[in-house]
Amino acid sequence: MAAQETVRALAGAGLTVATAESLTAGLMAARLADVPGASAVLQGGVVAYQNSVKAGLLGVPADLLERVGAVDPEVARRMAEGARAGLGADVGVATTGVAGPEPHQGRPVGTVWLGVAVPERLAAALDGLSGERRGAATAIPLALDGERQAIREATVAAALAALTRLGAAMGERATGEGAAGEPGAGA
């Protein structure tokens, strides 16, 4: 179970997580909460389906949302930053995208952005994640196929995988081991 691995990796690194979910509408937080012991890592989550919630609760600038729409890398980063700060977590993770069945705001079905944000002191840990990094946050693009539910499920799977990689990388840094298990590669 992917969520079990995620909880184990985050707990091993001593990290907590908060979610900001538009496309997935709480599925990611629910998957994490399904794992026994999730309370060690899951701070909470915000379902931000509407732009007013993205702006009001997560601090995404309203002018950014008006200019680029909800399905955008900067919006994903800002959502993740807002969840992290607002819920007092070490890591914020966000999902925004188009599940269909119709395109949205000029974006095709299956266009998804994951946002991941950490405190500045942990920003180097984001290097192991693909995406468009800006400071202590990154936006990971996904191009998914399938029906609405399949796109939402694949988004959750990708987000959990990213959190697992991040937790594993931070765990290695904490123990002083690099990706190959070699001493001295830690931060």
In the prediction, which pLDDT does 172 show? 78
Regarding beta strands 91-97 and 17-21, do their DSSP bridges make them parallel or antiparallel, or are they unpaired? parallel
Closest CA to 137 of 67, 69, 85: 85
pLDDT tens digits for range 69-106: 999 999 999 999 999 999 999 999 999 999 999 999 99
Contact indicator for 89, 16 with CB cutoff of 8 Å: yes
Rounded Cα gap, residues 117 and 171, in angstroms: 17
In the prediction, which pLDDT does 141 show? 98
Q: Where are the domains of the chain?
A: 2-175
pLDDT tens digits for range 14-35: 999 999 999 999 999 999 999 9
Between 3.90.180.10, 3.20.20.150, 3.40.50.2000, 3.90.950.20, what CATH number should domain 2-175 receive? Answer: 3.90.950.20
pLDDT tens digits for range 165-187: 999 998 877 665 443 333 333 33
Contact indicator for 112, 155 with CB cutoff of 8 Å: yes
61 secondary structure, DSSP code = -
